[in-house]
Amino acid sequence: MIYFLALLPATALTIAGYFVLYLSARSEGALRTFGRYLGFWAFTLAGLLILGALFAAAHGGHHCPVFGMHGMHERMHGRWPPMEERPGVGPPAANPTAAPTPPPPPAPR
């Protein structure tokens, strides 16, 4: 589905690229050179957009195993447990495992 959604901006970029190349062919000097580069850049972006859509569709929502950060990011996608159920979190009266806070340091003389 994402491939079909990417076809719209890729088509618009391709049409814009042809339009810019057509106009640059009718101009002279530096504007002609700039138009050629701009037209080819529009074609390049359209191609990259299609390649990115193909990669995203082929990837299928799976996580990349290369970086190995699944353990760090997996907890971000679910609901957090209530404060009372989290170990080490909560007020000291409700959490007997919490260490008492140390007294403040003495004031300098």
Dump pLDDT digits (tens) for 18-46. Answer: 999 999 999 999 999 999 999 999 999 99
Range of the domain at 27: 2-59
51 backbone φψ class: left, alpha, beta (φ>0; ψ -120 to 50) = alpha
Cα–Cα distance measured from residue 14 to residue 50, given in angstroms and rounded to the nearest whole number: 11
* Whole-number pLDDT of residue 26: 93
Closest CA to 14 of 55, 52, 54, 49: 49
Cα–Cα distance measured from residue 40 to residue 106, given in angstroms and rounded to the nearest whole number: 70
**Is 68 inside a domain boundary?**
no
Number of domains in the chain: 1
**Is 67 inside a domain boundary?**
no
**Is 90 inside a domain boundary?**
no
What pLDDT, in 10s, does the model give residues 51-106? 988 888 887 766 555 555 555 555 555 666 565 666 666 555 555 565 667 778 88
